[in-house]
Every structure is written in structure tokens, then in C-alpha cells.
Structure 1
Amino acid sequence: MKSQIQIGEMALEVVRKNIKNVHLSVHPPLGRVTISAPIHMELDTIRVFAVAKVGWIRQQQALMKSQDRETLREIINRESHYVWGERYLMKVIESDVAASISLNHKHIVVRVRPAWHEDKKHELLDSWYRLQLAEALPGILRKWEKKIGVQVSGFFVRRMKTKWGSCNPHARTIRLNTDLAKKPRECLEYVVVHELVHLLEPSHNDRFIQLMDHYMPKWQSHRQLLNSLPVRHESWAY
């Protein structure tokens, strides 16, 4: 069941769910605000909660709007691309061989068929980034599952327009954004820990912060690094 409350010029979408606590979210890229609340909680009670969070909401919205955006990529020679935080210059080779992508010193070499359009090249590059992340994740998951004392039933890697990751505590699955393969590895580890901790605490409350401080004392600096780096043209913050 959805409803809406207005605080000044700010509209907040309220979604009632079968939960115990109120959860506030600010969604990129423009800072849309949603509140998940227990089914029987009065709208006036939710409004009081939201008013107390207005300062934090505006802070998050300002961060999202100020985050740098990547220029649109065309998949052409000497275009800059990033892999695990390192910059590579693209080298596009057209030939009648199987399409592939490889790293050669400071170049990302893309081999494509001569007739391929830009969309096809983008699909190839996105698939390659997805593979890099899928190959890196199992080892990182094993490391942090052991430290935190949790275990996921599965993980998914996909392109996500507005999130770095998400967690389904009931199914015990996590989803990670393929673009994390472009960022320094400590950013990936931060997102993995963030989602694994949600298996212990689904909301971003004080207990969640205490758990993050316990298992990854430098998590806030990793988050700051992730949110300071340029993101896709359509994107966000975490």
C-alpha cells in the first residue's frame, strides 16, 4: 500500500510493509525519497520521523547531484576505461575472428567484427566487466562470510542503474553491479561487506553501523572513495 507525504517542497513516497521498523531511503540519481513503514503505523507518526531526517535527506541529495559523471563512451581508440581502479586506453581491432577483450600493459584491447555497431560493442564490454566481477567475487565472499559468520545462498552480477549492490535477507542472496569491476578492489570489498551485514541487520540503523565498524573499521573511507569516483552517465551514490 502506497501513499505520499509532503514536507515543504519535498515529496516522500510511503510504502507500508510487513516490517517492524521504519526504513528511509534516498534514491539516485535525483534523490527520490521513499519510506518503508510497518503496515499499521499512522501517517502522522511517519511524518514526524521524516521531519527529523530532513537534514540528512538534503545532505544525501546534494551528494548525489554533485557526483561526477562519466562522459558517454563510444568504444573507440584511445578512449579511457577503468579496470579495478586502473586507467587503460582502449585499442579497437576489427577483424574476422572471434570477438574478445584483453588487457595488454596499459591498453584494453577490444577485438570485434568489422560490421559490429556501437551497441554490440557495448554489450561485449559489459559482458566482459560482468565476467571480471563474477571471477573476483567467490574468493572475496568466502573471506568475508567467514569473518562475519554468515553465508549467502547465491550471488548475482548484473548492470544496475542506481545501486552498487542489494541484498535479499530472506532468500540470503546478494546482487552486485558490474561497474564495481571498474573501481578499486577495496570498493568492491566494502559493498560485499555492506550486503553481508544486511543478513544480520536488514536496516541502516545504529546496529548496522556498529556491525560495519566492527567488521570493517575503515568502511566509511571506502564508501567515501567509491562515492567520489565518476559513475556512469545515468548514475548515483551508495
Structure 2
Amino acid sequence: MPRSFAPAPRRETVVHQGQPLDYTLVFRARRTIGFAVRPDGTVHVSAPAGVPAAWVAQQVLKRADWIRQHLAEFAARPAPAPSRRYEAGAPHHYLGRPLALRLAEGPRPAVAATADELLVAYPAPHTPARTEAVLLAWYARQAPALFAAALARVWPVFDGLGLRRPTLYVRPMRTRWGSCTPTTARIRLSPDLVRAAPGCLDYVLLHECCHLQVPDHSAAFYALQTRLLPDWEHWKQELNALPK
């Protein structure tokens, strides 16, 4: 029995409020029409096989406001932060300052930050994986003192709330900057935060301290965070712009 093939996707355009709205149309074995707006700004429409393209265009116009809204939301999102590289000359951050990575041979792993360079030394051969391991271990060693200093800056704004002063822990995290257990007043912070400007570190620590008062991310939580740090959104954006 010969195999049947669905028609190839086709580019279509409708005019909505005087502006063209492009979309990719594909006919499939389905009963209803489906719409998808993707982060790259493309619009995809899946329609039941056999319906006229003109009917599909009418349905696109009916959903045009919804499509425009999602396109605007994707367009407003910040560009993804670049990835870190571990070869000589690559930019790396320490306390918010971008420094050029410099590799050197040394009898044992060592890292030093200068005005414009981050010097990483260890016995040859040099590889990106070994450089990364040495640098991340150095970040973890710097973290306790930097985090303690941040708590000394942040904690005074919580005076009068009757909260238990938290205990800080350094904990590598893949998907978050920090976490808090309100019942034990334990706050865990990623050593990667030493790459960020002190204001970013203070924002993350204040965010976690706010959970001592409000455990969830309710409106009450954000009201407290905004009262204690009115420009927290600025620091959040700066933090999220760091290379991953």
C-alpha cells in the first residue's frame, strides 16, 4: 500500500490592524486547529487536513490579539547570558568585575585576582576542565568570608521583625542562587555568587532572609522584599546577566 505524505509546511500572512502577521501552516490528521508562538518569534498553526487555507486565515485573525501578546512577551525577554569559557583571555567575573583569564604554570593550584586579570596557575597540561575545577574551588574558598560580610550589611534592615539570625552555608547549586529553611534559619548560597557585584549578593541574601518572615513567594513576600530593598529588580537583572 503506498505511503501517503502530509503537505509540507507553508508560509502564510494575514493583515491584522494594518500590520502583517506571518505564520507557518501545516495540515495534519487532527480535528481542531492549534496555535503555537515560539520564543524565536515564529508563529505555527496546525490545522485539520482538508480545511481551506482561507478558513485557517480567519481563525488566525480571531486569535491575532493573543498571538501579538505572546510575541511581545517573548520580545521583551532579556537575551540569554553567554556561557563561560575557560581558555586564556576569556572574560570571567569576580565581585562584579570582568577580568581576563590568564593561565600560568605553578607547582600547585592557585588563583589571584588583579585589577584586570584573573590568574589561574596549576601544573601543566592546561585544559578547560582543569581550569574550571581550579577556579570553582577558589570561588568556594572565597565565599564564606564574602557571605558573612554580606550578612553584616543586610541583617540590620531586619531589626524589629523578631527574626532569628540565620546561619549561612556554602552550597553549589545548578538552578538557583540560594535557598532558605525558615524552621531552622539555615540559608544556603551558591559559591558562584562571588562572581557577582556585592549589590547582587546582598539582594540574594536579603531575598532568602525575607523567607524567614514569609516562607512562600506570595504578595506579602514581595511587599516585604520591596520595602526592605526597593531596587531589588535592578540587582536581579544584573545578576541574571552574568555568564552561566
| TM class, shorter-length | 0.5 to 0.7
Q: Which has the higher contact order (CA 8 A, sep 6+)?
A: 1
Counterpart Cα distance in 1 of 2:174 and 2:105: 30
Residue in 1 aligned with 2:97?
86
Q: Is it true that 1:181 corresponds to 2:191 in the alignment?
A: no
Counterpart Cα distance in 2 of 1:68 and 1:89: 21
Residue in 1 aligned with 2:134?
124
Q: 1:67 to 1:171 in 2, by over 3 A?
A: farther
Residue in 2 aligned with 1:69?
81
Contact 1:94–1:112 (CA under 8 A) maintained in structure 2: yes
Counterpart Cα distance in 2 of 1:80 and 1:139: 26
Counterpart Cα distance in 1 of 2:74 and 2:171: 27
Q: Is it true that 1:156 corresponds to 2:201 in the alignment?
A: no
Q: Which has the larger radius of gyration?
A: 2
Pairwise CA RMSD: 2.8
Give the deviation of 1:170 after TM superposition: 1.3
Letter in 2 for 1:196: C
TM-score normalised over the length of structure 1:
0.64
Q: Is it true that 1:217 corresponds to 2:227 in the alignment?
A: no
Which digits, 9 at most, give the CA deviation of each residue in 1:134-164, with x for residues without a partner?
A: 2211122123223213344421223211111
Q: 1:147 to 1:66 in 2, by over 3 A?
A: closer
Q: Is it true that 1:137 corresponds to 2:150 in the alignment?
A: no
Q: Is it true that 1:171 corresponds to 2:171 in the alignment?
A: no
Contact 2:166–2:209 (CA under 8 A) maintained in structure 1: no
TM-score normalised over the length of structure 2:
0.63
Structure 2: tracts of 5 or more residues without a match: 1-33, 36-69
Q: 1:184 to 1:216 in 2, by over 3 A?
A: same
Contact 2:83–2:243 (CA under 8 A) maintained in structure 1: no
Q: 1:101 to 1:125 in 2, by over 3 A?
A: same
Contact 2:104–2:120 (CA under 8 A) maintained in structure 1: yes
Runs of at least 4 residues of structure 1 off by over 6 A?
none
Q: 1:139 to 1:152 in 2, by over 3 A?
A: same
- How many residue pairs end up in the alignment? 174
Give the deviation of 1:78 after TM superposition: 1.0
Which of 100, 106, 111 lines up with 2:110 in the alignment?
A: 100
State the identity %: 24
Counterpart Cα distance in 2 of 1:191 and 1:100: 28
Counterpart Cα distance in 2 of 1:110 and 1:174: 30
Structure 1: tracts of 5 or more residues without a match: 1-7, 10-57, 233-238
